[in-house]
Homo-oligomer: A and B are copies of this chain.
Amino acid sequence: MSQTADPPTYRVVFQPSGRQGVVPAGTNLLDAARRLGVEIEAICSGKQTCGKCQVTVEEGSFLKHGVTSAAAHLTPPDGREAHYFEKHPPLPGRRLACACEVLGDVLISVPEESQARKQVVRKAATERAITVDPAIRLCYVEVEPPTLEHQLGDWDRIAAELATRFGLHNVRLDPVLLPSVQGIVRAGDWKVTATVWQEREVLRLQPGYAEEAYGLAVDIGTTTIAMHLCDLRTGAVLATASRMNPQVAYGEDLMSRVSYCDNRADGLATLHDAIIAALNELAAEAADEAGINPDAITEIVLVGNSVMHHILLNISPAELGQSPFGPAISDAVDIKARDLGLKLAAGAQAHVLPLEAGHVGADNVAVILAEEPDKAPADEVWLIVDVGTNGELLLGNRERLFSASSPTGPAFEGAQIRHGMRAAPGAIERVRVDPETLDVRFKVIARDEWSDAWDAGTQEHGDAATAEARRGRKRAALLGQGPILAAGICGSGIIEAVAELFMAGVITPDGRFAPEITAPRLIWQGAKAEFVLAWPHESSTGREIVVTSDDVRNIQLGKAALYSGARLLMERMGVERVDRVLLAGAFGSYIDARHAMVLGMIPDCDLARVATVGNSAGDGARMALLNRGLREEARRLARWTQYIGIALEPRFQETFVEAMPLPHATDPYPHLAGVLAAAGAHRQARGVADVALARNRRRLAHTAG
């Protein structure tokens, strides 16, 4: 007996990771990649069906002398690979990694689209990449049909292949899929693609080879629901849908929802059914927009404040409404979508992010995921204000992070505002008031030009508008004919309007319309007044769109809640100022940092370091949808963040009252005075400076005393 010689070994180098190693001759290139920790996508795991494992074979100077082509160091394409490339013509130099065996040293490039963990860029003020590493994975398998001698079940054959080819042992089939197994394997001619969740359960079976894997990320706000439909393979957002939370009909703020549940036998069921119905409709809408079927959606990740979270899960929010405000569960919840009443894939999973406390919910955890204050340098203090009907605050850095909840009211989402509306086409989202003429120009959602550039048409002022002209415009707007006109004011619009009116002196620091001002747009009704933003000819309703005294008061209450919350957290942390402010919220378009600051929504900060980041909670939900590791991170962050019940702080009432004036009456704000002066609002800048001066005097006196 002669001794068998060890096979020769060769060096394989993968780019761009640079990972390399030595493998025995004949090693499959996909296996070599796995062994070296290079993650290459492969739905079919070597069946030469999916084409996902394409790599480019590079020439390289490291190759052994005399070899002119690295390609010769791999087995040549066989019939199956050739057949694949015949149907899907490749770029030059491309091979299917699963079809190559190593016969010599090779240098391999793994193109972006073949990498298993792709990255997608989150488009926000702070661009950040999300690594696509979802909880689900597609696995294509081919099984032998049963025979009279081998009557093993169809599922068992699939399970065996998942174990052998994908190393997925102990994967179970969601048992509600059992009725469909035999039809699907036969429809796919004994080939199926399994959607495997968390390496342990098959949520969906598709006949034949398939690449369909979709998920939803949802932010359930008190007033607004926002949903993204994503491709879980690429991370792409395929559709976005939003609508008013239908629970608004049963109470505008959280406490009135809690009361509704408490006071009626069917209260919880009514609110739960309402949100589930809305989610089903939104999912259908998003799926329709993306051209897919809702039953192709296998995952949904949901965030919301604690009350929304409890009602979603059919849990009474009663305990959240009374001291000590304990939730039923803080931890993340994995639940079958069907057990919630959601109409997605039969086996679809729902994941609800964890809560931080009774009044700081999963939406805030999502904000942390999206904005990463837990990664802020230790010598900086970040403040994140999530503006919603319930405002949530985060303050801190990588060493400590405090959270709080603040009852903002729905004004920033356009509710409890006379002409407020959801961020939808026609909503006024930008406002400019000329401090000299007090004239106004504005922009509405879904129309590019500012209102002063709109085709003038007949200039109708006030009562000059004829009933007929109004009806004509209204009909045209309803029919989608003609340009989009103003229909109301969304959150960012009302913020800008009040801030601009304050800077122009139309609104005084105490929030009243300045009595000395007369202007065609300022209409007095006793002690109160309305300021016209849009004339009837600029509106699709054919009536003026105005900002009222009550609107200003509601904005003041909301911003005072946010501001005083932030101040109390700063006191708790023992800091005098913040180094960075992020304004998050689903109020429409991104609000202007300057207007937020002028309005006094936030403490003083270098304007260059104040950013509005849109719906961070929704972004965080999307990140948790696309990356399973972030779900574990969210659980850790929810426990780590320290909740402060600001309403219980002794100085809450005092701070709140101090925060009511515009911009506010507490801060030494050096930046804010500059901002106002730069905007030409010199009187207001002086006011701010006076306040700061008075405060500093008090402080000096206090220190001296």
The reply to whether B181 and A329 contact each other, CB–CB distance below 8 Å, is yes
For A53-89 the 0/1 string (1 means CB < 8 A from B) is: 0000000000000000000000000000000000000
Query: Chain B residues near A324 (CB, 8 Å)?
Result: 145-148, 151
Known: A175-B339, A313-B175. A181 touches B330 (CB 8 A): no
For A318-353 the 0/1 string (1 means CB < 8 A from B) is: 110001111111110111100100000000000000
Q: How far is the CB of A400 from chain B (nearest CB, A)?
A: 16
* Given pairs A148-B645, A175-B334, 7 additional interface contacts (CB within 8 A): A145-B324, A151-B359, A153-B329, A154-B327, A156-B331, A176-B335, A179-B315
The reply to whether A328 and B152 contact each other, CB–CB distance below 8 Å, is no
Q: How far is the CB of A182 from chain B (nearest CB, A)?
A: 5
A193 to B182, CA, bound (A): 41
For A366-381 the 0/1 string (1 means CB < 8 A from B) is: 0000000000000000
- Which A residues from 656 to 686 make CB contacts under 8 A with B? none
Instruction: Tell yes or no: A409 within 8 A of B by CB.
Output: no
A323, A325, A327: most-surrounded residue (chain B CB, <10 A): A327
The reply to whether A326 and B179 contact each other, CB–CB distance below 8 Å, is no
A316 to B178, CA, bound (A): 10
For A300-324 the 0/1 string (1 means CB < 8 A from B) is: 0000000000000111101100011
- Which A residues from 140 to 169 make CB contacts under 8 A with B? 145-149, 151-156, 159
Instruction: Tell yes or no: A116 within 8 A of B by CB.
Output: no
Contact of A329 among B173, B335, B359 (CB under 8 A): B173
Query: Chain B residues near A182 (CB, 8 Å)?
Result: 315-316, 318-319, 326, 328
Query: Chain B residues near A645 (CB, 8 Å)?
Result: 148-149
The reply to whether B314 and A159 contact each other, CB–CB distance below 8 Å, is no
Instruction: Tell yes or no: A648 within 8 A of B by CB.
Output: yes
- Which A residues from 405 to 439 make CB contacts under 8 A with B? none
Contact of A181 among B146, B172, B328, B359 (CB under 8 A): B328
Contact of A328 among B145, B155, B314, B335 (CB under 8 A): B155
The reply to whether A326 and B151 contact each other, CB–CB distance below 8 Å, is yes
For A266-291 the 0/1 string (1 means CB < 8 A from B) is: 00000000000000000000000000
10 nearest A-B residue pairs (beta carbon): A146-B326, A153-B330, A175-B335, A153-B329, A151-B357, A155-B329, A151-B358, A153-B327, A181-B328, A148-B324
A330, A333, A645, A648: most-surrounded residue (chain B CB, <10 A): A330
Instruction: Tell yes or no: A611 within 8 A of B by CB.
Output: no
The reply to whether A326 and B154 contact each other, CB–CB distance below 8 Å, is yes
Query: Chain B residues near A357 (CB, 8 Å)?
Result: 151
Known: A313-B178, A339-B176. A153 touches B334 (CB 8 A): no
Q: How far is the CB of A327 from chain B (nearest CB, A)?
A: 4
Query: Chain B residues near A149 (CB, 8 Å)?
Result: 645
- Which A residues from 103 to 146 make CB contacts under 8 A with B? 145-146
**Closest residue of B by beta carbon distance from A158:** B329
The reply to whether A148 and B325 contact each other, CB–CB distance below 8 Å, is yes
Interface residues on A, range: 35 or more
**Closest residue of B by beta carbon distance from A172:** B334
Q: How far is the CB of A270 from chain B (nearest CB, A)?
A: 15
Instruction: Tell yes or no: A14 within 8 A of B by CB.
Output: no
Query: Chain B residues near A153 (CB, 8 Å)?
Result: 326-331, 355
The reply to whether B333 and A175 contact each other, CB–CB distance below 8 Å, is yes
A145 to B334, CA, bound (A): 25
Between-chain CB contacts (< 8 Å), 24 pairs: A145-B326, A146-B358, A148-B648, A149-B645, A151-B325, A151-B327, A151-B357, A151-B359, A151-B643, A152-B330, A153-B326, A154-B329, A155-B330, A159-B331, A172-B334, A175-B335, A175-B339, A178-B328, A178-B329, A178-B333, A179-B328, A181-B315, A181-B329, A182-B328
For A197-230 the 0/1 string (1 means CB < 8 A from B) is: 0000000000000000000000000000000000
Query: Chain B residues near A156 (CB, 8 Å)?
Result: 329-331
A482 to B323, CA, bound (A): 66
A149 to B151, CA, bound (A): 60
Q: How far is the CB of A682 from chain B (nearest CB, A)?
A: 46
For A633-656 the 0/1 string (1 means CB < 8 A from B) is: 000000000010100100000000
Q: How far is the CB of A351 from chain B (nearest CB, A)?
A: 11
Q: How far is the CB of A532 from chain B (nearest CB, A)?
A: 46
The reply to whether B179 and A314 contact each other, CB–CB distance below 8 Å, is yes
The reply to whether B330 and A179 contact each other, CB–CB distance below 8 Å, is no
The reply to whether B313 and A179 contact each other, CB–CB distance below 8 Å, is yes
Q: How far is the CB of A271 from chain B (nearest CB, A)?
A: 13
- Which A residues from 175 to 193 make CB contacts under 8 A with B? 175-176, 178-179, 181-182
A148, A331, A645: most-surrounded residue (chain B CB, <10 A): A148
**Closest residue of B by beta carbon distance from A644:** B149
